[in-house]
Structure 1
Amino acid sequence: MNVVLGSQPAEPERENEDFAAVAPGVAVLLDGAGVAGAETGCTHGIAWFSSTLGGLLLSTATAQPARPLAECLADSIRVVRSLHEDSCDLTYRASPTSTVVAVRAGTEALEYLVLGDSSLLLADKGTGPTVVTDRRLDDVGKRLRGPVDALPTGSPEHAAALAEYREVLTGLRNRPDGFWIAGPDPDAAEHALTGTVPLGSLSSVTLLSDGATRLVDRFELTTWQETLAVLDSSGPAELIRRVREVEAGDPDGQRWPRGKAHDDATALHWTLAYPARSADCLRGKPGD
């Protein structure tokens, strides 16, 4: 495996609630979520939830290669629940949740799972990149975000409108008319987007939290093809640097309305096939 990982918290002094990790043939990325400014009902916190769930999912998907990723996720959610249900209120409205992206390479195919608004970027050798994103949260958000987006990001009025928006959003979590995300209920795993792709058709696979995809899906300043080119040439750190540069130019969200001026940003770029090189380069020249 040739994997490059970059991750940065929204603010230097804040805990990073994203989590990403790899094992041979398996990669996972989770973006932890709660209700900003609200008690979670969990003594451990959002970062603990995403990292604990992510570590368990990575272990389960690696140790049980024949089990579908959705089943591995459901089992992992059950274990996390058992770790803190006696000490934390998991029925609380702001109980920690997380998006999930997971991939696993088999002999012939790449299996994937996407739950929540993180993204999977699949670089096909022949047709270019394809993105797999769970848009159900975005679809709900578009119906509800109007009052939030009309106000300057970070202002007291924006904070109040955002809190109200998130209150309503929480009521739609893990419901058929809302959206699905990993939380206390393992049944959410059944609603993940899943599929397989022929492994030989791919040149790379990239897992991205929504803080790392803003240049494309929030700011609309670039394309997935251009994003892939940055990842291939300069890696995740450069992609995140470009996101931060644009965010810094619009701190109040006047041009690009958004809930947070900055967000945790994580990108895991897994190269499956190297660019064509000469035989001498691959084997080493005589005398090297």
Structure 2
Amino acid sequence: MRVTLASQPAEPGRENEDFAAAAPGAAVLLDGAGVAGGETGCSHGVAWFSSTLGGLLLGAVTTHATRPLPECLADAIRAVRSLHEDTCDLVHRASPTSTVIAVRARGEDLEYLVLGDSSLLLSDTRGEATAVTDRRLDEVGKRLRGPVDALPTGSPEHAAALAEYRDALTQLRNKPNGFWIAGPDPRAAEHALTGAVPLASLASVTLLSDGATRLVDRFELTTWQEALAVVGNSGPAELIRRVREVEADDSEGRRWPRGKAHDDATVLHLALR
């Protein structure tokens, strides 16, 4: 297995709240979420949460090779909670959360878990690509984000509408009629998308945060197949560069309304052949 990785914060000098790592036969990617520049109730911050959870999760899936991935995630969430529940307010409305992707080779299969709106791209030996993405957050967002999308990204009015939107999203976090994401409650792991694919059928596996998938799912300028070709031929950093190029041409979100002009972007590519 050959591993290539690229990750870039939303803006130079800003902390990157994505986390990605790989070990023999396993990999994880997390995209941390909180309230940018706002109070979260956690003294450690969103980047600490996503990187700590990611490191513990990678350890769990490799150390306990037969334990189901949702149980490994639940264990990791409990472990992170124990690290800061005595010092931080974990019931705060904006307590740090994170999307999660985990993959693990087990026997003849690749097991996977996806929670939140990061994407797992599975490329088979015939050259076809299949994306596994948890769309529940997107579905909730479409119902709520009309006022945000109507305003120029980065304007004071947009910032105010975005704050109201995020507050509304928080009320639906880890609720049956809302969406699920890793936070202080290990029960969220029970709602992850899971599956297994024969390893012999796969040519590569790619884990992407939503800041890296914008060319496909936000801007609709390319396909998953084309994005995978960029990663395979030129590397993960080239895909992120192309995302940034398009973002720069629409910095106010006129053509592609979005909450942030730029987002943390991470691509972890595992070439199996």
| Pairwise same-fold verdict (TM > 0.5) | yes
In structure 2, C-alpha distance between the alignment counterparts of 1:169 and 1:35, rounded to whole Å: 12
TM-superposed CA distance for 1:106, in Å, is 1.6
In structure 1, C-alpha distance between the alignment counterparts of 2:115 and 2:18, rounded to whole Å: 14
Partner residue, 2:122:
122
Amino acid at match of 1:266: T
Is the Cα–Cα contact under 8 Å of residues 36 and 163 in structure 1 kept in the other structure?
no
Deviations 1:140-160 (A, max 9, x none): 000001000000000000000
Question: Aligned-residue CA RMSD in angstroms?
Answer: 0.6
Partner residue, 2:175:
175
- Structure 1 window deviating more from structure 2 (29-38 vs 65-74): it is 29-38
Partner residue, 1:264:
264
Q: Match of 1:72, SS? A: helix
Answering whether residue 240 of structure 2 is matched by residue 240 of structure 1, we say yes
**Which structure has the larger Rg over C-alpha atoms?**
1
In structure 2, C-alpha distance between the alignment counterparts of 1:255 and 1:78, rounded to whole Å: 42
Q: Match of 1:122, SS? A: strand
Q: Match of 1:212, SS? A: coil
Amino acid at match of 1:163: A
Partner residue, 2:138:
138
Q: Match of 2:183, SS? A: coil
Deviations 1:17-75 (A, max 9, x none): 00000011000000000123320000000000000000000001000000011000000
Q: Match of 2:29, SS? A: strand
Partner residue, 2:100:
100
Amino acid at match of 2:206: T
TM-superposed CA distance for 1:95, in Å, is 0.2
Q: Match of 2:4, SS? A: strand
Q: Match of 2:35, SS? A: coil
In structure 1, C-alpha distance between the alignment counterparts of 2:151 and 2:165, rounded to whole Å: 13
> What TM-score, normalized to structure 2?
0.99
TM-superposed CA distance for 1:107, in Å, is 2.2
Q: Match of 2:21, SS? A: strand
Q: Match of 2:215, SS? A: helix
- Give the 5 Å matches for 1:7-86: 7-86=7-86
Deviations 1:153-181 (A, max 9, x none): 00000000000000000010000000000
Q: Gaps (5+ residues) in structure 2?
A: none
Partner residue, 2:184:
184
Q: Gaps (5+ residues) in structure 1?
A: 274-288
Runs of 4+ in 1 over 6 A off after TM superposition: none
> What TM-score, normalized to structure 1?
0.94
TM-superposed CA distance for 1:199, in Å, is 0.5
Is the Cα–Cα contact under 8 Å of residues 102 and 113 in structure 1 kept in the other structure?
yes
